[in-house]
Amino acid sequence: DWTMGAFRAEAIARIRDQVGEGRVVCGLSGGVDSAVAAALIHQAIGERLTCIFVDHGLMRAGEAEEVVATFRDRFNIRLVHRDASDLFLGALRGVTDPEEKRKTVGRLFVEVFEEEQRRLGGADFLAQGTLYPDVIESVSATGGPSVTIKSHHNVGGLPERMRMRLVEPLRELFKDEVRALGRELGLPEGIVGRHPFPGPGLAIRIPGEVTREKADLLRKVDAIFLEEIRAAGLYDAIWQAFAVLLPVRTVGVMGDQRTYDHACALRAVTSTDGMTADVYPFDMGFLTRVANRIVNEVRGVNRVTYDITSKPPGTIEWE
Ligand code: XMP
């Protein structure tokens, strides 16, 4: 008779056992996995956990604020919030190749994380929100021929040289179990039920060069799309929904004025693990409502398209 309550108690005991009197640092990304790992470890060892949130400035609207409000203010978890958006956006200047964007964000993330970690005076353990599918994937990645489609960056991707022992309390769990555990720990639904978000953030949803202006524009478009999805009660039926800002400007008409602005694409898919995905079949009324709101409310975007590619052959993200 296996319940989340029992798992939680066991996991807490195991963390205490492993960590002893040691100190743990945990990278928070705003995503479900790192959030649940942090909340669980905090219940086990309290003040001896410090979370580091490296804010790359490429999060969705309101997300950075929610991380701080939840972890520092509500859960009283020791949290270092480092606003590194200037650093990341500066490094991304002129970078247009998707893999180079991923590597740039990944490399800087590690640098900033290490810097903050040193500032804290070091720690004995590094906590990661590694899930069972991540464990499987990294094992299968070494057996047999494979092609790297995209080099993943996430808060679990810290390098060997950090030489800290790992605390990975979610290693046996699947995503839906992690969500159940998060609810058991009292994390807000906004975090527990949140769609997955890639480590490189909006950088890989802005084909071409990433700038602060484009990221701001994309955040507005994305927020409208998600707001309408929530209002229609569709959020939980969808694996991931987001907007992509296209590096194309098109001609439009607004009132009696000619416009020449960005086009954007909307993407929404269903999936169980992200490995394959189907397009979410919105009805036309929903899509045209969203398109009208975007064009009317976001200056700088005058055309909206809906991506109807499944995975495979498309990937979920555009880069
Ligand atoms: P693709 O685009 O390869 O994405 O179909 C599959 C799933 O993985 C997410 N994704 C990432 N997650 N770091 C992450 O933590 C990354 O670098 C990354 N790239 C893609 C993507 O959002 C989808 O859920």
* Cis ω for the linkage preceding 98 (within 30 of 0): no
Residue 302, pLDDT > 70, answer: yes
Question: Is residue 85 part of an annotated ligand binding site?
Answer: no
Atom of ligand 1 nearest to the CA of 197: 22
Tell me the pairing of strands 240-254 and 257-270: antiparallel
Question: Is residue 37 part of an annotated ligand binding site?
Answer: no
Q: What residues pair up with 277 in beta bridges, in sequence order?
A: 311
Ligand 1 pocket (Cβ < 6 Å) reads: 102, 149-150, 152-154, 196, 198-200, 240, 274, 311, 315-317
Give 133-159 pLDDT, tens digit per residue: 888 876 655 544 456 788 887 766 666
Pick from 8-17, 80-89, 137-146: least confident: 137-146
Closest Cα to atom 4 of ligand 1: 316
Closest Cα to atom 20 of ligand 1: 198
Distance from the CA of 240 to the center of ligand 1, in angstroms? 10
| pLDDT for res 144 | 47
The class (CATH top level) of 211-306 is alpha beta
| pLDDT for res 269 | 98
If we measure between CA atoms, which residue out of 26, 83, 84 comes closest to residue 52? 26
Side-chain half-sphere exposure of 180, counting CA atoms within 13 A: 12
| pLDDT for res 155 | 65
Kindly report, as residue ranges, where domains of CATH 3.40.50.620 are found in the chain. 4-192
Question: Is residue 178 part of an annotated ligand binding site?
Answer: no
Distance from the CA of 152 to the center of ligand 1, in angstroms? 7
Kindly report, as residue ranges, where domains of CATH 3.30.300.10 are found in the chain. 211-306
Question: Is residue 182 part of an annotated ligand binding site?
Answer: no
In CATH terms, 4-192 corresponds, of 3.40.50.620, 3.30.70.20, 3.40.50.2300, 2.60.40.10, to: 3.40.50.620
Does the pTM exceed 0.90? yes
Ordered alpha helix ranges (H), the chain: 4-19, 32-45, 63-68, 85-92, 98-119, 132-140, 175-184, 189-192, 212-231, 284-297
What is the sign of the dihedral through the CA atoms of 200, 205, 207 and 208?
negative
pLDDT band of residue 214 (cuts 50, 70, 90) is very high
| pLDDT for res 136 | 80
| pLDDT for res 177 | 94
**Averaged pLDDT for residues 212-238:** 98
* Cis ω for the linkage preceding 159 (within 30 of 0): no
Secondary structure string (H, E, C) spanning 120-153: CCCCCEEECCCCHHHHHHHHHCCCCCCCCCCCCC
Does 164 or 177 have the greater pLDDT score?
177
Calpha distance 129→15 (Å, rounded): 13
Mutate to test the pocket of ligand 1, among 54, 100, 150, 271 (most ligand atoms within 8 A of CB): 150
* C-alpha of 299 from chain center: 26
